[in-house]
Amino acid sequence: MAIWRSGVFGGLLAGAIWSTLWYTLSCVALIVGSGSSINLEIGPALITGMLIGLLNVMYKPINVKIYFIVGTLFTLFLLIFCSFGQPFGSQFPVNDWHTMISTLIVSALIFYSIYCTVGSLTAGILTRYFAEAFYTRLIWGLGLIFFILIVTIPFYVMIMTSFKNQRSLLKNPLDLSIDFSAGPEKLFNSYIELFVKYDFLTLLLNSAFVSVVTVLITLLFSIPGAYAVAKLRFPAREWLSSSVLLIYLIPAIILVIPLYSVFSQLGLRNTLFGLCIVYPATTIPVALYMLRGYFAGLPSELDDAGLMDGLTRWQIIIKISIPLAIPAIASVALYVFMIAWNEFLFAFMFLDDIKIFTLSRGIVSLDSTEVPRQHLMAASVVATVPVLFIFLWFEKFLVSGLTSGSVKG
């Protein structure tokens, strides 16, 4: 009989994987946060995880909250006991409150991860369905952790480095701890110099101007176009509807040289106005495609009622369709804004005057031996945070706008 369908084997496997993963990540976090070295000893964590996995297979709690608290404390006890009071080595004694909090957090993560993965397993042989469900949960959890790490680690390094000074970075580049005793002026020195010495506020305003204008122009053309393709009947309608994204078959790098030549002759090459022409040309097709599906899902009876009341097509779009399509329009606006905010290729090729540089173009111009690395990291944080907050603010519109119209009843 296959051992992989054994509940005990599943509990031991999940316990070993999750305990090793969380213990390793916590050691890396301590090394990065403190700048000290740690001898990675996985044995105590491995034993602890396997015992906790076996416990979750054998025992099914009645009160989950109490079980989680008691299980976390028991995991904490096992980690300390199996490591002889030194879960993270002699450099971090367990009587230190920083070490105790770190060990408690690791214990909670280990126990909760094992419980969520092993919770439904029993000690006997599992059916094929429950065995596959267990391995699916395990793989899904590991994939989620991997994705979170891929996203958060670069951002964490970027933020921590922006608070460092040149001397500390040269002394130990891997030390990402923050010295709060230095005071706010020294901590934020990179950001202060970024705006005072390198005039970063101008780059922010340039990017904001180009992005907002791109959004407005894109919506101005894509809303009527999407409505026409979704609601009206005209020659070549089906062909236009299916071929609207064909422009993306042509790589942007191919368009740079002819556009560079044309814009140079028209005097638009080294201007923000030139970018405000190029960017909408690349965003209108996908915006039209996204809005078309939403408009197609709106009942045609609303348009018929508007026509019977004497409204024109433009009035129907403004008074009926646009208010109903606010979620889709908001998601399209956010998508276009992010494209324009982060675009680099055309800005790099078209802009030469530092006074009209966008953020992406300006950050690249700072990337030299004369500009300290902490200033580059601070610039990256400043460029990322506004888009992050805008994305979080419009998240509900983004989800509803992208899913609406995709499923027809």
**What confidence score (pLDDT) does residue 196 get?**
84
CA angle in degrees (0–180, nearest 5) for 357-197-390: 55
Distance CA 257, CA 36 (A): 51
> Domain spanning 196-403 has what CATH number?
1.10.3720.10
In sign, the C-alpha dihedral spanning 351, 354, 358, 359 is positive
Q: What is the largest CA-CA distance in the chain?
A: 84
**What confidence score (pLDDT) does residue 331 get?**
85
Domain layout of the chain by residue ranges: 3-171, 196-403
Query: pLDDT, tens digit, for every residue of 39-58?
Result: 777 888 899 999 999 998 88
**What confidence score (pLDDT) does residue 229 get?**
84
Q: Do 34 and 95 form a contact (C-beta atoms < 8 A)?
A: no
In sign, the C-alpha dihedral spanning 38, 43, 46, 52 is negative
Q: How far apart are the first and last CA of the chain?
A: 46
Q: Do 333 and 219 form a contact (C-beta atoms < 8 A)?
A: yes
**What confidence score (pLDDT) does residue 405 get?**
45
**What confidence score (pLDDT) does residue 408 get?**
43
**What confidence score (pLDDT) does residue 216 get?**
95
| Low-confidence residues of the chain: pLDDT under 70 | 1, 33-38, 90-95, 173-175, 180, 237, 240-241, 367-370, 395-409
